[in-house]
Amino acid sequence: MKRIGGRLALRRECCFWNAYYAADGTMEGAVFIGSILISAVKDNPERKNAFLHIMFDAVADLVEKETGIRPTTGEIKAAPEHERTGNA
């Protein structure tokens, strides 16, 4: 199986939970793909999960367009400390 670089990066920025398609290990050059109010997902696990799935699909679409290969979801990991801006 071929490993495709890139990841879905989620960051709390102000009152939003923002999603980016980013290279592994850096946010430099990250592509903004979506956003939701923190208050909309904070106490609603179903909505939070739905947002995550939509963002995973959006990243998969971008990767497939770039490479011709549709990725499957990988391991969910916490962001490196230097990238953290808060928790959703």
Query: Is the model's pLDDT at 76 over the cut of 90?
Result: no
Tokens of 84: 């953290």
pLDDT in tens, 14-46: 999 999 999 888 899 999 999 999 999 999 999
Query: Is the model's pLDDT at 70 over the cut of 80?
Result: yes
Q: Which of 49, 65, 56, 54 is nearest to 8 (CA)?
A: 56
Long-range contacts of residues 24-30, Cβ cutoff 8 Å, at least 24 apart: 25/80, 27/83
In the structure, what pLDDT confidence band is assigned to residue 63 with cuts at 50, 70 and 90? confident
